[in-house]
């Protein structure tokens, strides 16, 4: 898309500066959030339930504007951006929702193909990537199944496949491995890692400390009561420092 530029060389892919978020007249659920996400990096977002992880992710995948502060994505100010420009940015972001949010009347194949169809990819160019993705997540034989007939883990895999099929520049995942067995969790994490090696910036919200230890060079952000625990933006967990 021409209306969603790439971050300037050396610049951050995502910049949050003194961002606050409140819903209605209530107190802020996020307060003074400042961080930068570098292109091609891998981040884990952790914190207790109710800390504001999902709210932070919502701002990352453009479902919510902040109440105050500055949010820049791909070098552009998103706070004041006209809404008609947002679709171009959203097409460069893959999202894995905690509750999957698959479209119930579409098959697994059509759910996965959705981002490509929305982006205008022709049907003749769809079948290859969608078929490969179905095989990769182990659902090649269930391509025509509706979400209601899939298990929670299978739905999660379809949701992840939908998020990554368009090769997004930024992948945002909210508890992506919460409903899959450890083996599938590692396979999915491997997919995220592979995408990250190809240049995709990945942000994964999770409680799973074992997951965090599996990714080399991943950085961790921790939210507590709506505030980022490390105001410098990321606590680094290099392999050498891990237990």
Partner 1 sequence: MIIPRVPVQHRRLLPDRRLSGPTPWVIAILMMLTLLAAAAGVGLARSANAIGSAIAGRVTVQIVTANPVTRAEQAAALRRAAAAQPFVRSARSVGQEELQETLGQWFGSAEDNDPVLQSLPLPALIDIDFVGEDRSSHMAQLRALVAAEAPGARIIPHAEWLGPVAQLIRSLAWIAGGLVLLMTLASAAVVIMTARAALATHFPTIEILHLIGATDRQITRLFQRRIAIDTAYGIALGSVVAAAILLLIGWQWTGITSGLAATASLGPAGWALLLALPLLAIALAALTARQTLLAALKKIL
Binding residues for partner 1 (CB under 8 A): 61-65, 83-84, 86-88, 90-91, 95, 101, 103, 105-106, 110, 113-115, 117-119, 123, 162
The CB-of-8 to partner 1 minimum distance in angstroms stands at 22
CB closer to partner 1 out of 53 and 162? 162
The CB-of-3 to partner 1 minimum distance in angstroms stands at 11
CB closer to partner 1 out of 158 and 218? 158
DSSP reduced 3-state for 44: strand
DSSP assignments along 172-229, one per residue: EEESTTTTS-HHHHHHHHHHHHHHHHTT-EEEEE-S-HHHHHHSTT-EEEEEETTEES
Residues 148, 94: Cα–Cα separation, whole Å? 23
Q: Which residue has the tokens 């209605």?
A: 24
CB closer to partner 1 out of 123 and 141? 123
DSSP reduced 3-state for 170: strand
Instruction: State the Cα angle at 67 between 172 and 56, rounded to 5°.
Output: 20
CB closer to partner 1 out of 86 and 143? 86
Q: Of all residues in the chain, what percent are helix, strand and coil, respectively (each to 5)?
A: 35, 20, 45
Helices (H), the chain: 53-60, 86-90, 108-118, 127-136, 152-164, 182-197, 209-214
The CB-of-103 to partner 1 minimum distance in angstroms stands at 5
The CB-of-28 to partner 1 minimum distance in angstroms stands at 19
CB closer to partner 1 out of 11 and 87? 87
The CB-of-127 to partner 1 minimum distance in angstroms stands at 11
């Amino acid at each position: 898309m021409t209306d969603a530029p790439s971050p300037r060389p050396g610049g951050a892919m995502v910049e949050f500066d003194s961002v606050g978020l409140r819903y209605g007249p209530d107190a802020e659920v996020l307060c003074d959030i400042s961080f930068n996400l570098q292109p091609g990096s891998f981040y884990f977002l952790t914190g207790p339930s109710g800390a504001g992880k999902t709210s932070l992710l919502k701002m990352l995948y453009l479902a919510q504007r902040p109440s105050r502060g500055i949010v820049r994505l791909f070098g552009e100010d998103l706070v004041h951006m006209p809404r008609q420009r947002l679709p171009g940015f959203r097409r460069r972001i893959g999202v894995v929702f905690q509750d999957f949010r698959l479209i119930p009347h579409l098959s697994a194949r059509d759910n996965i193909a959705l981002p490509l169809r929305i982006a205008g990819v022709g049907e003749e160019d769809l079948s290859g990537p969608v078929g490969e993705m179905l095989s990769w997540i182990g659902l090649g034989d269930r391509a025509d199944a509706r979400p209601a007939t899939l298990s929670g883990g299978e739905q999660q895999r379809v949701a992840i496949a939908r998020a990554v099929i368009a090769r997004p520049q930024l992948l945002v995942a909210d508890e992506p491995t919460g409903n899959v067995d450890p083996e599938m969790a590692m396979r999915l994490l491997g997919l995220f890692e592979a995408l990250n090696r190809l240049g995709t910036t990945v942000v994964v919200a999770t409680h799973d400390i074992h997951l965090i230890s599996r990714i080399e060079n991943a950085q961790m952000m921790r939210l507590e009561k709506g505030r980022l625990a490390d105001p410098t933006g990321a606590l680094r967990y290099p392999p050498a420092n891990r237990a």
